[in-house]
Structure 1
Amino acid sequence: MSDYIKITETPSDYSDLEFMSTRSILENINREDQKVAEAVQKAIPQLTRLVDALEERFYEGGRLFYIGAGTSGRLGILDASEIPPTYGMPHNRVIGLIAGGDSAIRKAVEFAEDDIKQAWIDLKSYTITDKDVLVGIAASGTTPYVLGGISDAKKHGILTAGITNNPGSPLATLSDIPIEINVGPEFVTGSTRMKSGTSQKLALNMISTALMIRVGRVKGNKMVNMQLSNNKLVDRGTRYLMEGLGLNYEDAQNALNQYGSVIKALDALKK
C-alpha cells in the first residue's frame, strides 16, 4: 500500500460536540451534508464509464455485483434489493454481498471484513464470470474483504470498480474504474455512515438508475416495468396507462389486470 492521507479518519472540523445544543448539532450536520452532492458530481466522469460498461455487459447477460462491509455492504444490498420491484428486473441481475453474510445486514459480524479471501468465495457461489462487473464499496478504501474480492476478480478478467471516500486509497489504485468521492472529515470523527455513506447511496442510486434507463426499463419518465406488488403500485400503474393511452381509470385498470404490467399493456394497446 502506498502512503496517502486517510481523509475518512481525519479529525472533525467541529469540536466539543457534547456541549452543542440540539439545534446546533442538527444545523452543523446539515451544513456538512450539503457538501456531499458536490463531491459526487466530481465523480460523474468515472460513474459514466462504469454505467456504459455495465450497459454493454447487461445486453450480453452480464450482472452487477456489489461487495462491501458494514454500512457500505448494507448500502450495496439495499440498492440491489430495490431493482426487481422498481424495474421488474430478475433478482439475480444486480446482487449485493456483505462481509459476514446476510446476518451482517442487521448485526455486525466481528472481524468479517478482515478476511481477504472470503469475498471471492462468496462471488464464486454465484458463478461470477467475465461478463459480469464487480463494484467494491469501502469508505476507507482499505477493507480487506473488498480488496481481496476486487483483486481476485481482476485475475479472472472481470471488470472492477471501487467506490471510496479516500482518494489514492488501495481500492482506488486497484480498481479498473476508481470512483473517488472526497466528502472531507465526518462530523463525528471517523463515522463514515454519515457523509461517506450518503455519498455512496447517491452514487449507487445514479449507477443503478442510469443502467436501468439505458437497458430499457423506463419509458418516458415512468417505471413501466415495476412489479405490481401492492395497491399503491397498481394505482400508479393504472394512472400511467391513463396518461399513456388516454383511457379512463376503470378501463386503464382493466387493461393493467389483463396484461399484467404497464409496459405489456402499452405495447399491446398502442398497436
Structure 2
Amino acid sequence: MGNLAGRVALVTGGGRGIGRGIACRLAAEGALVAVHYGRREDAARETVELITAGGGRAFAVRGVLGEPGDVSALYEGLDAGLREQGEPAVLDVLVNNAGFNIAGGIAVVRPQDFDRLMAVHARAPLFLVQQGLERLRGGGRIINISSAATRVAFPESVAYSMAKAALEALTRALARELGPRQVTVNAVSPGFVKTDMNRRRWSEPGGEAAHAAYSVFGRMGRPGDVADIVAFLASDDSRWVTGQCIDASGGSFL
C-alpha cells in the first residue's frame, strides 16, 4: 500500500511530459488518477495504459481548458469516470499542470497570446479549485505547477512568465483560505525539463548542453525529478507545508 492508497487525484495535462510523470508517480503511490487531456486523447490513453500495466488505477478525462464551459465539462467527465470505477465523486489531490508556452518578448507579444496563456495557466486553475471544493475532502492537496521563469528574468516569454506568476499568487491566497480545512496548497517551479513542450530548445545542435549548463548538476531536468516533489506534497509527510513555491530547477541560475 502506497502513501496515497484510497485517494483520488486529478492531474491536468497528464498525457505527456511532466504531467505524465506526475500521474504515473501518484498512481505508483496508490492513488486512483484521473489523467486529464485537452486534445491529445492518444497520449492520455497511453499514460493510463502505463499506469494500469504497472498495477495502478487510472482513467482519462477530457476538457479543453481556456474554452467556455471548460471546467464544468472536465468535472462532468471526472464524475463519470469515478462512477465507472465504482468510486464516489470526490477528490483528494488536484495537480494544476496543464500548460503551454507562446514565446514572445515585449515587442512582439500579442493580446490573443496573452489571453490564451492566462486562461490556461491562471484562470483554469482558479475555477478548477472553485468548482472542485465541493468534491475536495478535508486534508486534500492542491499542487500548482509553476515555472522558474517567475524567479529569473525570462523576457523572451514575457506573457508566459506573467501567467505563471499569477498562478503563484493564487497558491498563496488559497493556502490561507483553505487552511482551516487542513488543505495544503503549494506550487512547484521546474526549470528546463526535457519534454515535448520545449523540444525546439533542446533538440537543436548544442541545445541540450546549453540548457544543461544552467543547472548546478549539469543536466536538464526529467519529468521524474518534478514528479517526486509533487508526490511528497501530495502525501501526509507534507502536512506542515503550505503556501510555498518549491524550486525544482536543479539549482538553475544560482
Q: Could you state the TM-score of these two structures normalised by the residue count of structure 2?
A: 0.40
Structure with greater helix percent: 1
Which has the greater radius of gyration?
Answer: 1
TM-score w.r.t. the length of structure 1 is: 0.38
Higher strand share: 2
